[in-house]
Chains A and B, each alone.
Chain A
Amino acid sequence: MSNIVVENRDIVIPGDLLAEGMDYIPGDFTFREDEKIFSKILGMVSVSGRVLKVTALSGPYAPKIGDKIIAKVTDVLMSGWRVNTNTAYTAVLNVRDATTRFVRKGEDLTGILDIGDFLVCKISNVTSQNLIDVTMKEPGLKKVEGGRIMKINCNKVPRVIGKKASMIQLIKEATGVEITVGQNGLVWLRGSADGELKAQQVVRMIEQRAHESGLTGKVSKFLGVAHKPVTPTPTPTPTPAPVPKAEPVVEGGEQ
């Protein structure tokens, strides 16, 4: 006999009962005690089938395997680098995950990455002790060069990216700025001086107004471009950007 206590998109606090019985499965940021499922954090419930999960509304970034993040090199190690991931725990980038070329034993690693450099990388492993490994061995992962870096609340990252990267696409097209959003809340903007500034203002605006609906429309108005209606026309870009009229308040997104 199972019984769900909450509805989709309810706001819950840590310890709030979500469901009773074994028919439901605890998802992200929830836990099961006896036969009850509780929330671990302040967030919004999302029910998908039998899985109950909570989307965080606040709090620091929690490293997850497969997340693309922007990290900063803080130390050069024997065979790699220690990087700051904007969490309480640092990560290690091994030489073999950083470059494809042959690196001699005892070579000066600062030639590849130096202290203070930023890099776009992917979390390849997180242990239960929160030891993190990152890798750059995938297309699109590289050292950050030029442009500017800004920091936003990591819980607003999905909003900045938008549904199927629609928001990023919109900003890119309007400002001509290359935008890379790390799941840990660091954003790298590179383009013309005016474009970077405009993009930075837009990202800041999205962060502050993330809870409002119809944000894409407001952003297009701010950027002075026409708000594209929902037309699933195939575009030559790799990420087609159908802009939804009214988006849910928080949604998962990926770049």
Chain B
Amino acid sequence: MNTAMISFNKSSVLALAKNGKRFDGRKLDEYRGPIEIESSISKSAEGSVKVTMGDTVVIAGVKLSLEKPYSDTPDQGGLMINAELSPLSSSRYEPGPPQMPAIELARVTDRGIRESHVIDTKKLCIEKGEKAWFVIVDIISVNDAGNLFDAAGLAVMAALRNTTFPKVDDEGKVNYKEHTDEALPIAKDTLSITIRRVGKNLIVDPTVEEEDASDARLTVSSESDGVISAMQKGGEGTMTIEEVMKAVDLALDKANFLRGKLK
């Protein structure tokens, strides 16, 4: 996506927002189609998916490794989520160490899943204080056409659901070439939905143009019963309490919509 054009189109996006309209003609609470999840796309990962949301494409892969547990949680395994915004996916990203957007994407996605205890980390422990499974998830953007937050959240949840344990031989070495049927101990489906404010409207699933025109965003991670596990506010604009309440309601509703795609 050409960055230059977007800054030009910003004024058009804001002019349309005054009439409650969106740049690409969608309703305020409408997602782009098609939303697709393609599972097991990688042979070397324990679980992997490719998520398509309109023109946005994200892949996520899960690796499992046997490590020594942290000393403050000797009876638990662990979860690590990393994100990489590939320079191929947008003209805005550069190769090299992760920049702010990649770090925020990883942390927001991680927090939602960690704080709602999606994975029962105690079940990942094999020998207390000695050996436990650590779950490492990598998110890679393939095409950034906006709304990487929702796509990444959906991809991570789908990748975790797609994961099976590798075989462990008698000496305790992991054989990554063969997999068991045992899935990760996943307790719930937590998805994060990002609500953007463009003008005075609260919208879901923004395109890059809308992301540029928006001054505030709120990411809400929620479980299927409506329990909110994490929130993240971004952008320099402020939101009123009414807006936050509206955004949360919208996010819970849309999380249920996306959860339907996960099945």
Closest to A189 in B: B12
Report whether B4 and A193 are in contact in the complex, using a CB–CB cutoff of 8 Å. Answer: no
Report whether A84 and B4 are in contact in the complex, using a CB–CB cutoff of 8 Å. Answer: yes
Cβ of A197 within 8 Å of any chain B Cβ, yes or no, is yes
Contact A150-B5, Cβ < 8 Å, known A193-B16, A193-B19, A197-B25: yes
* List of B residues within 8 angstroms of A186 by Cβ: 5
* List of B residues within 8 angstroms of A147 by Cβ: 12
Cβ of B9 within 8 Å of any chain A Cβ, yes or no, is yes
Alpha-carbon distance between A72 and B6 when the two chains are bound, in angstroms: 12
**A-B interface contact total, Cβ < 8 Å:** 30
Residues facing B in A120-158 (CB within 8 A) are 144, 146-151
* List of A residues within 8 angstroms of B12 by Cβ: 146-148, 196
Closest to A144 in B: B8
Cβ of B175 within 8 Å of any chain A Cβ, yes or no, is no
Report whether B7 and A116 are in contact in the complex, using a CB–CB cutoff of 8 Å. Answer: yes
* List of B residues within 8 angstroms of A193 by Cβ: 15-16, 19, 21
Closest to B4 in A: A72
Interface centre among B4, B9, B15, B23 (most CB of A within 10 A): B4
Cβ of A38 within 8 Å of any chain B Cβ, yes or no, is no
Cβ of A24 within 8 Å of any chain B Cβ, yes or no, is no
In whole Å, how far is B18's beta carbon from the nearest beta carbon of chain A?
10
Closest to A193 in B: B16
* List of A residues within 8 angstroms of B25 by Cβ: 194, 197
* List of A residues within 8 angstroms of B16 by Cβ: 193
Report whether B21 and A149 are in contact in the complex, using a CB–CB cutoff of 8 Å. Answer: no
Interface centre among A116, A148, A186, A197 (most CB of B within 10 A): A148
In whole Å, how far is B4's beta carbon from the nearest beta carbon of chain A?
5
* List of B residues within 8 angstroms of A197 by Cβ: 23-25
Report whether A151 and B21 are in contact in the complex, using a CB–CB cutoff of 8 Å. Answer: no
Cβ of A81 within 8 Å of any chain B Cβ, yes or no, is no
Alpha-carbon distance between A148 and B21 when the two chains are bound, in angstroms: 15
Alpha-carbon distance between A149 and B4 when the two chains are bound, in angstroms: 10
Alpha-carbon distance between A146 and B12 when the two chains are bound, in angstroms: 7
In whole Å, how far is A223's beta carbon from the nearest beta carbon of chain B?
15
* List of B residues within 8 angstroms of A118 by Cβ: 8
Residues facing B in A160-213 (CB within 8 A) are 186, 193-194, 196-197
Contact A151-B19, Cβ < 8 Å, known A197-B24, A197-B25: no
Alpha-carbon distance between A85 and B50 when the two chains are bound, in angstroms: 35
Cβ of B2 within 8 Å of any chain A Cβ, yes or no, is yes
| Chain B contact residues, CB within 8 Å of chain A | 2, 4-5, 7-9, 12, 15-16, 19, 21, 23-25
**Could you show 8 A-B contacts with beta carbons less than 8 Å apart?**
A72-B8, A116-B4, A148-B8, A149-B9, A150-B5, A151-B5, A194-B25, A197-B25
Q: Which 4 A-B residue pairings sit nearest by Cβ, starting from the closest?
A: A197-B25, A148-B12, A149-B5, A72-B4
